[in-house]
Amino acid sequence: MLAQRLTSWSVTCLAMLALAAPSYADEYRVSVTRDDTNLYRITGKDILIQTWGCFEFAFGEDALLRMSGRSGSIVFLDQGQKCQVSAVYGKTRVPAGTYSVTLSRESQDWYSVLGMEMRIKTLACYEYWFAESLTLKVDSDGSAILYKKDGGYEFVEGFYGPLNL
């Protein structure tokens, strides 16, 4: 009797899990341009799409962005290529001040801030930083510079935080 109840309960739970299985909650038709390796910018927006192993060279290409939470896929409509999306990032502001940050390179000009869900987009930075400690100075107008230990510096284009679509 107990085994029969457990089996019945297991079937009910499996049915509920199947109904709750992840599906793409939202679809967005967008125009994208490749900004960098595995990084695409939505035309006319301060939104960047980070992909995995995506080699599509897009310039104003129509695409379908399918998202469920913070991950999903992007389908480039002209070529039909589909790529996995690891995250979508929107531009965010960082309060003026001087900060100690640890950065790791994700791709050219695109760095993750360790310990935070933030990315920094630089202007023509070719550094292969991995857990590199830097000083970040953000001015009241939002402009920012990363200062290296050797006295050099890199300009910041913007700060980006994950979007939950």
Average pLDDT, the chain: 86
Is the pLDDT at 23 greater than 80? The verdict is no
By percentage, how much of the chain surpasses pLDDT 70? 85
The pLDDT assigned to 165 comes to 75
Pairing mode of beta strands 144-147, 110-113: unpaired
How far is 32 from 49, CA to CA, in rounded Å? 9
Q: What is the pLDDT of residues 122-150, one digit of tens each?
A: 998 888 899 999 999 999 999 999 999 99
Position with higher pLDDT, 9 vs 134:
134
- Give the pTM: 0.78
